[in-house]
Structure 1
Amino acid sequence: MRLQERVITVTGAASGIGRAIAVQAAKEGAKVVVSDVDETGGAQTVDLIEADGGTAAFLRTDISREDDAQALVDFAVETYGRLDGCANNAGIALASHPLHETPTDLWLKTQAVNATGTFFQLRAQLAYLAKNGGGAIVNTASLAGITPAVGVTAYAASKFAVIGLTKQAALEYVGKGVRVNAIAPGVIRTPIFDNSSPEEMAAFEALQPGGRLGEPEEMATVVCFLLSDEASYVNGAILNADMGATAF
């Protein structure tokens, strides 16, 4: 197993892509620190991992809070003795507005979680990994951080920031043995679609390259690859996992 005995933190792991990453990392041998603001969902993710014979612990983490980033690193080290890798997946996507109608509070909240939250996580993680033998970090960006999309100014800007942070960290810390990459998912089947009718889903899927949405598990396998030694020469990459949406 390519993550055997490694200690991996996963933010936003109470559902969707984050849960899939946590579950897959555990299947590949990692000891997983599950983190999220959703304590119930986080506990369920731990239960799923343990039911499958894996090892996991939960810590409530609000990535928009500066102190929570260091607390997550400290918890991983205190619980499992070290930290080897991090999947910075937590993020929010709020209401859609044209740029000139984007409310200030929506802009600020989106940046606080997606951009500043990723910065807080990276700062704490890099400080530890650079002093303790290196490791790997994978950030979750977005298709919207690669190519423009109408109505999502705040979200797109925040994900462009995630890509910039990824490249900056990759350049600065490769000499310390730390690799930093990102995935840019396309449209993935997550709980955001739970209230959509079959007809709505069919229409939406028809718009996607290949005629279907991606699955969280498909993102998880990519993240685990990037966390593993199989990606030992991959650094500063933004891996588009979008079934070709950015190829057009």
Structure 2
Amino acid sequence: MQITGRVLAVTGAGNGMGREVTLQLVAKGARVAAIDISEAGLAETVALAGAHSQAISTHVVNIADRAAVDALPTAIIAAHGTVDGLLNIAGIIQKFVPVNDLAFDQIERVIAVNLYGTINTIKAFLPELLSRPEAAILNVSSMGAYAPVPGQSVYGATKAAVAQLTRGLHSELMATNVQVTVVFPGGIGTNIALNSGIATEAEMAAMAAKAGKGKPRTTTPAPEAARQIIEALEKGSYEIFIGQDARIMSRLSRLSPKRAAALIHSQMKDLLG
């Protein structure tokens, strides 16, 4: 997809990868409908866009709210005249606890945002995207979709569902004008635990120190992850893996899934106490 002049809806645009994708898209000449639950986060994204800020419209929406999401295409078309692409980047993780200790309200919240949020936006935007001469859907899954992380089982289940949903959409839309891409990030340098509402900054620092017994973990900087996401959008990629960890674990999970699970367990088990 050609980026310049396109109108792209980006969820999770108020922080992390969604923010970086938004900033890089407008720098490349796109217009962005920035969607996030945080009004303050969206305002900061617009401020960071500087000279490109006029290319951004902001939409404070909880993507788990189906009625609110259904109203988004009309609002975005009113602001920009059309919409050419949907980038589902918003997502949350769960508390770092086993399923046995995870309350149902927390389970339902993760499913509502990660899975139903993605379904809600796809259902809302797809009719308009099908009417465009060229359009795109890009959904962010996770390395946790194929490499089980202790204490993130429900999160991983939602991201596995997002991955399979995206692959199914690709097959359903293969003969149409809508390209479909799934993204599998590994560790990305964002404040996802803080933004998910599961930890304070102090708790995040403690978790980082505890993970891997204090050994440094390699993460991909959010701006680099955003660059790769946009590149995948431009190329119409079927799927991409962001970070050496995501690529290595993808191969190992296919070759020896039990060994991959044991390796991740050995690195992450200390987070569970």
Please give the TM-score of this superposition, normalised by the length of structure 1. 0.88
- Residues 1:152 and 1:29: Cα distance change in structure 2 (over 3 Å): same
Equivalents in 2 of 1:123, 1:51: separation in Å? Answer: 33
Quote the sequence identity (%): 28
Once the two structures are superposed, what CA deviation does each residue of 1:157-195 show, in whole Å capped at 9, x if it has no partner? 110111011111111112221111111111111124754
Select between 50-59 and 127-136 the one with higher mean Cα deviation: 50-59
- Aligned residue number for residue 224 of structure 1: 230
Q: Distance in 2 between matches of 1:106 and 1:202?
A: 23
1:240 alignment counterpart: 241
Q: Cα distance, 1:99 vs. partner?
A: 2.4
Q: Say whether residues 1:173 and 2:173 are aligned partners.
A: yes
8 Å contact 1:18–1:90 — kept in the other structure? Answer: yes
Q: Which consecutive unaligned segments of at least 5 residues does structure 2 have?
A: 195-200, 253-273
Farther-moved stretch of structure 1 (128-137 vs 187-196): 187-196
Unaligned segments of structure 1, at least 5 residues? none
- Give the match for residue 150 of structure 1: 150
* Pairwise CA distance, 1:242: 2.5
SS at match of 1:133: coil
Paired residue secondary structure (1:184): strand
Is 2:215 the partner of 1:214?
A: no
User: Is 1:109 paired with 2:109?
Assistant: yes
| Offset at residue 102 of structure 1 (A) | 2.5
Residue equivalent to 2:12: 12
The offset of 1:100, in angstroms, is 2.6
Contact 1:26 1:54 in 2 (8 A): no
Give the CA deviation at 1:71. 2.1
Q: What TM-score, normalized to structure 2?
A: 0.80
Deviation at 1:39, TM superposition (A): 0.1
- Secondary structure of 1:183 counterpart: strand
The SS at the match of 1:179 is: strand
Tell me the C-alpha RMSD between the 2 structures.
Answer: 2.4
Q: What corresponds to 1:65 in structure 2?
A: 65
Runs of 4 or more, structure 1, over 3 Å off, are: 50-54, 192-208
Alpha-carbon separation, structure 1, partners of 2:70 and 2:207: 45
Matched, 1:183 2:189: no
Which structure has the highest helix share of the two? 2
Following superposition, the deviation at residue 78 of structure 1 comes to 1.2
Q: Distance in 2 between matches of 1:202 and 1:103?
A: 23
* Contact 1:29–1:54 (CA under 8 A) maintained in structure 2: no
User: Which aligned pairs between 1:59-98 and structure 2 lie closer than 5 A?
Assistant: 59-98=59-98
Q: Quote how far apart the aligned CAs of 1:197 are.
A: 4.6
Q: Which has the larger radius of gyration?
A: 2
Distance 1:45 1:6, change over 3 A: same
1:103-146 CA-to-partner distances (Å, cap 9, x unmatched) read: 21111111111001100111112111112324111111111012
Partners of 2:71 and 2:18 in 1: CA distance: 19
